[in-house]
Every structure is written in C-alpha cells, then in structure tokens.
Amino acid sequence: MSEAQKFQHIIDGIREDLTLIEELCGKLDWNLFNNEGLWSTFDFYYKKAAFEIIEWINDVFLDKIYETNSKIHKFLTDMSLGGMYNKVSIQGQAMEKCLKDIMQEKDGLGRGNTHSNLDKLKIAISNYRYSIDTTMDYVRKQLYETNWASMKKINIEDYLLLAKRRRYIKARDELEWVKQAIKEGKYEDILTHLRTAIDLAIKERFGFTKIWMKPFLIDAKENGFPLPSYTMLYDYYDEGSQRLHSGRLNTPYECQKALDFVDGFIDRLELINISQEEIDNFKKKCRCVE
C-alpha cells in the first residue's frame, strides 16, 4: 500500500465514522419522539424508557464521538500536526454539550428544550464534519509538498478499532485479535474470529442465546428481520466454511476488507429500530435462534 493509499484509507475510515455519527443522531431523533414510553402517563414506563435512551446515548453515541476524536487526535499527533486538533476538538465538545443538555433537560427527556437542543446537535455535527474536512485538506496539501514523507512512519493497523467500545466488548475483543493477526501476517484463523464476532454482536443486540447463522440469515431476510447486511454476511459464513474445510487462506487484502466490513456491521446494529415484541415474534417463527 502506497503512502497516498494509506492516507486515503484513514480518511475514508474517519468519513465512515462521521456518517455513523449522523445516522446515530437520526436514531436519537426517532427514539426521543417515537418512543411510547416517554409519553406514557405512568411514571414507571417513562423512567424505564428514559433510562434506556440515556444509557444508549452514553454507551453508543458519546462513545462513538470519543472514539472518532481519539482517532483524529492520534493521526494529527503522529503527523506532528497536533496543534491542528484544537479546531476539531472544539466542534467535538459542542456535540458532547448538546447531548448532555438533552439528557439533563429539566422538564424531562424528550420535553422542554429537547427539540432545540437536537437542532443544535445537528448543526454541531455538520460543523464537526466541516472542520475535519478542512483540516484533512490542509494535511493532504502538506503531504504532497513533502512527497508524503510523514506517512512513511504511519502504521495503518494502528488506526483500526482504535478505541475499546462499551457495547459488544466480547465481539470487539475478537476483532482486536484479528487486527493483531493481520499486523503480524498471521491469516490462518481470521475468518473464525470474524464469524465469532458477528455471532456475539447479533446475540447481544437482540438478546439471543443461540444462533444457527446460515439458516438464520435466510429466515431474517425472508421475514424482514432488520440486519445491516444479509447476502454479504451469508457469503462470509459460506465462503469461510469452504475455505476452512479446504485449507485455503484469505489474502491480506481480503482479511483487511473483511475486518472493515465486520467492524462496520457491528456499528450499524445500533441503528436498527425494532421493538422487543417484534424480536419475540421473530423468535417464534424462526427455529434458528433461541
């Protein structure tokens, strides 16, 4: 991979993070104004819904912001341009403040100034993206002027799965194993660990205890059970089984792309809107999960 390709790969990853932050904002909007529990006249149901949303904001939304910030900070520091992080950091802090204002609304979650704070959050996210784009444009210009010299000391694997997330810890432990294996050039068991990560993440997201994955993916697609991917996920299991049984290994490029895919798949599990009743109904119809 050339120095220019390494730089573009890191930028693409950051842009993917930004897109996910925007999508998480959309889910927060939906959760705040379409969650029946928040508008219940029974205090118990309101408190339960509010607690779950606040927990999700802390464990998923804010966590993704912290992860993205740390990735950008590390990259600029490694490039000896750490001073440029201040502009990005200010917009990151603005997003954090908006989320905390939403959680701490004195009239209750979803009430009072929630609408205006949510609008401020959307503006802050837009400003955050703009500050990153302008910063990275400057970095790209500097790299061209110096013949990409600073990129030569960058190890691309250091920017994969940079932060430990509070949700899906066991699944992400599997991804950390894969990341290290790719770094060391050991590709034998990568598909096994990626499939384990997928299995663990789906179980945690939907509360399953067992999954027979290939028939589950077929049933999920046929019954409209929402997943970020069906066909590609099935292909990883089908192709993975064939490779494992035949002794064929994935190429380094294939392993890298598979890691990127599974990491993104786990992130996007959080964007799925599905009720517990819908999950329970699917479990009754599908004999491939428990």
The residue extents of the domains of the chain are 1-159, 167-290
- Per-residue pLDDT, 246: 47
Are 197 and 175 in contact by the 8 Å Cβ rule? The answer is yes
Are 99 and 62 in contact by the 8 Å Cβ rule? The answer is yes
HSE at residue 100, side-chain half, CA atoms within 13 A, is 8
pTM of the model: 0.75
Helices H, strands E: what count in the chain? Answer: 11, 0
**Per-residue pLDDT tens digits for 128-187:** 999 999 999 999 999 999 999 888 888 877 776 655 567 888 888 888 888 888 878 887
**CA nearest 121: which of 32, 49, 12, 35?**
32
Pick the CATH number of 1-159 from 3.30.470, 1.25.40, 2.60.40, 1.20.120: 1.20.120
Residue ranges for the chain with pLDDT beneath 50: 244-247
